[in-house]
């Protein structure tokens, strides 16, 4: 796993485009996000090939996963789990939030395994080829406020 910097914007954009072609952000957007002082971003490599990334930001005693993506050819190999474990190691007990498409059952199962719980709903939040998709807002309590459930299921938070 490598620390993602603004110089990795093209790599991050390429993974994002492969994983989510309808909604992928440009390298210019990623360059700005990776340059932010509150950014925590990692790229997972499979030998010399980048296969996944996570971008998180922290503010006001909270953290948010802005984006996590795995290249479609590398999915189901534990890459997202490794990225979330890395993010959890950086939290210092802060709660972690993220949004997920309501119909993304694989991602929701991953997040449930870490102990994320739904705390909100955004109607029609995501654009899809067939229209709009709802988003669920999930929260993971970490540190002293954590339930311990995610530790039992494989997460390190």
* pLDDT profile of the chain (157 residues), mean per 10: 95 95 91 94 95 93 93 93 90 89 91 92 84 90 52 49
Q: Is 145 helix (H, G, I), strand (E, B) or coil?
A: helix
pLDDT at 61: 87
Contact between residue 64 and residue 56 where contact means Cβ atoms under 8 Å apart: yes
pLDDT at 153: 44
Scan for tokens 């709660």, then name that residue.
95
How far is 57 from 35, CA to CA, in rounded Å? 11
pLDDT at 155: 53
pLDDT at 152: 38
Beta strands (DSSP E) in 22-82 are 39-46, 49-59, 62-70
Residue 27 corresponds to which tokens in the numbers above?
């390298």
pLDDT at 33: 96
């Amino acid at each position: 796993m490598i620390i993602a910097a603004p110089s990795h914007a093209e790599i991050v954009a390429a993974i994002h485009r492969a994983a989510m072609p309808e909604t992928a952000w440009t390298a210019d957007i990623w360059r700005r996000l990776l340059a932010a002082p509150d950014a925590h971003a990692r790229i997972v490599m499979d030998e010399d090939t980048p296969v996944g990334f996570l971008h998180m930001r922290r503010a006001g005693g909270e953290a948010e996963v802005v984006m996590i993506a795995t290249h479609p050819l590398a999915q189901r190999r534990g890459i997202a789990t490794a990225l979330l474990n890395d993010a959890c190691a950086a939290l210092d007990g802060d709660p972690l939030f993220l949004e997920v498409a309501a119909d993304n059952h694989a991602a929701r199962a991953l997040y449930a395994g870490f102990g994320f719980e739904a705390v909100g709903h955004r109607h029609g939040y995501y654009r899809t080829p067939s229209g709009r998709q709802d988003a669920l807002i999930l929260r993971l309590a970490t540190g002293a406020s954590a339930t311990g459930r995610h530790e039992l299921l494989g997460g390190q938070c």
